[in-house]
Amino acid sequence: MPAASPAPFDVTDVLINRELSWLDFNARVLAQAEDESLPAIERARFLAIASRALDEFFQVRVGGLKQLAAGLESAASDPHGPQAQIRAIRLKVVELYTRQARAFLQGVVPHLDSHGIRFSDWSSLDEDDRAFLDKVFEERIFPVLTPLAVDPGHPFPYISSLSLNLMVVVVDPASHEQRIARIKVPPLLSRFVALPDGERFVPIEQVIAAHLHPLFEGMRVLTHHVFRLTRNADYTIDSDEADDLVEAVRAILKERRRSPLVVRLEVGSDMPAEMVDLLARELEIQHQDIYTVSAPLDLGGLFEVCKLDRPDLKYRSWVPVTPPRFAQDLGGSDGDLFRVLREDQILVHHPYDSFEHTVEAFIAQAAEDPAVLAIKQTLYRTSGPVSPIIRSLTRAAEAGKQVVAMVELTARFDEQNNINWAEVLEDAGVHVVYGTVGLKTHAKVTLVVREEAGGIRRYCHIGTGNYNRDTARVYEDLGLLTSDPALGADVGELFNSLTGYSRQARYRKLLVAPDSMRPAVLRLIRRETDRGEAGRIVIKVNNLVDPEMIAALCLASQAGVQVDLIVRSICCLRPGVPGLTENIRVRSLVGRYLEHSRILRFGRDGKDSDYYISSADLMPRNLDRRVEAAVPIRAPELRARLDQILEVNLSDDTLAWELGSDGEWQRAPKGAGVDTQLRLQEVALRRAEGKS
């Protein structure tokens, strides 16, 4: 029955601020560190993840807001402007710092201590331990420290972003004059110094503080205090001036290293007010940007502790399985894997399915197969220092194949790595393309062109995640391997658009941003809206931000369509609002693996449903300012696998959080004890054994 005309509405009535939504996500990550049921080292890992993620949030998101506020005369009074957002951010961040400190001091530290892993204060060490650290300081720490005086003859030094620092107050015994110096802790030093047993650690600032006298010979050390600075890292390339993209990116890296804009100052809780005021003055920072922290600064340093060989304190090990079709044919003669793909499309699901024995094997075999004429691949973030995929591409080029790598230089915080990889590839004879200024290439696609008895055949991989073995072990992602002629032609034309002057806007099967993806997804939402109560939408993404998509989903809800959204991180849509979003449910899963795949399902069942996996989130940047690719999944058995993934996600009551109509997140009510990630491990094992 046709849906009734919806009541008019303003989409802002259901919008949640993007930045505050991200902070809510970080709070869900932090909740894992607070969870007493998790293994001790995993709790420490979640605390490190939350700390580093907050660093990036300040560098990029708060940095961007501060730049925006500086350019707007009305910023201070606008209730929705950048200054208002910065104030709201502070309230949430103060709460996060309180929870981080409590999670570390009252949760992680005693939990690890009960298993023999201890964080020790210098004051609690015995003579043997202190003698050991004396030697460590003399041999490894002292040579790389440089105290910098702060006085009229020595201007306040530049403080690099995210560096740990000590402010030291000394007094001259002759003149009784007090002086101040700053010591930077070089990032090459471990955040926590291990004692000889390898399972006890001392914060490095305490080791340095215990050895300040050699750094200030002839002076008397009065006191010392720790601080840490965060600077803006939100830079964009000027498309009017970027004639050489590589040089433009190098210029941005240089700017980032010497960024003048301070966005956050973290200080130890024992720092006196007069020293905080001094730092605020010298750094030209407002007090609203200063955060007093009672736990050690930079808990991201816990990643080093997480490397301990203590499997008893970590998640049960998981070895990704090799899908049956790959297991049968992987060890065979040249061309076996291609024979498999001529017969079937294969959907791979990482980290449950092995990345090494599927995607890497596909590219490695293409590199070695004499019948392969060309390989083309996008590279956004790849593993290092020795990437198997990079090795395969270089071998293929050296063997005389036509190899093209679309390297995205502007992948944030991976720019230098990608420049380095591009140079390695170019040296091997790979044709390296850097994309278009102002249009980041985020699509995950590979094309292999092979000469066969019946003529040229194209094989391709289209996925939701990066070509990165390291992240494939911890990021949940999907990929389609296929020899479908229409998809092969689409991927070929997409590469022509990326490497040449083609401006392909229409594709046979692919949805490609920034051209066809937005209108196609909106058409699918509107189709379900027209079906009214018979309509059904299930979307799994990392982020839902785009106002036009949110408005379309509101209309679907008003028409009676049941909408389930599985949004890992930022969700700007408030569900359950009467008359607007009452038929929309939003959940987020936070667990061992980072839920990274994007799945879009439109329709209830049968031939009238559409399924896609995509590299794109529903954000303006993905839909309008990036090259993204979504591939339809049409084979019934592959659709059934996607349905299974979505159904498990929607029934989860262990990892899941639910977003309420008040904009607050709560853990899903306990029921059958469904853990999506454990359940999908079981599914992968059964499939490998031929049982499902």
Contacts of 141 (CB under 8 A, 6+ apart): 189, 204, 207, 208, 211
Residue whose entry in the numeric block shows the structure tokens 């009065």:
222
SS3 per-residue string spanning 614-626:
ECCCECHHHHHCE
Determine the straight-line distance between the first and last CA of the chain, rounded to whole angstroms.
38
Helix, strand or coil, per DSSP, at residue 464: coil
Q: From CA 377, how far away is CA 491, in angstroms rounded?
A: 10
Please work out, in degrees rounded to the nearest 5, the angle formed at the alpha carbon of residue 600 by the alpha carbons of 562 and 449: 165
Outline where DSSP puts E strands in 523-639: 536-541, 562-567, 584-589, 594-595, 598-602, 610-614, 626-632
Active site residue 357: no
Neighbouring C-beta atoms of residue 157, cutoff 10 Å = 15
Q: Are 77 and 148 in contact (CB under 8 A)?
A: no
**Per the omega criterion (within 30 degrees of 0), is the bond before 351 cis?**
yes
DSSP string covering 22-79, please?
HHHHHHHHHHHHH-TTS-HHHHHHHHHHHHHHHHHIIIIIIHHHHHHHHT-TTTTT-T
Exposed, middle or buried by CB within 10 Å (0-12, 13-18, 19+), for 431?
middle
Cα–Cα distance measured from residue 576 to residue 580, given in angstroms and rounded to the nearest whole number: 8
Task: Give the tokens for residue 386.
Answer: 């020795």
Give the dihedral of Cα atoms 40, 45, 46, 50; nearest 10 deg. 140
Given the residues 111, 211, 349, 442, select the one marked as catalytic.
442
Amino acid (1-letter code) at residue 63? G
Place of tokens 């200024």: 437
With 0-12 CB in 10 A as exposed, 13-18 as middle and 19+ as buried, what is 68?
Answer: middle
What are the Cα distances from residue 294, in Å, to 73, 144, 271, 319, 664?
Answer: 36, 27, 10, 39, 27
Residue at 421: amino acid letter: W
- The crossing angle, in degrees rounded to 10, of helices 40-56 and 82-102 is 160
* Catalytic site positions: 442
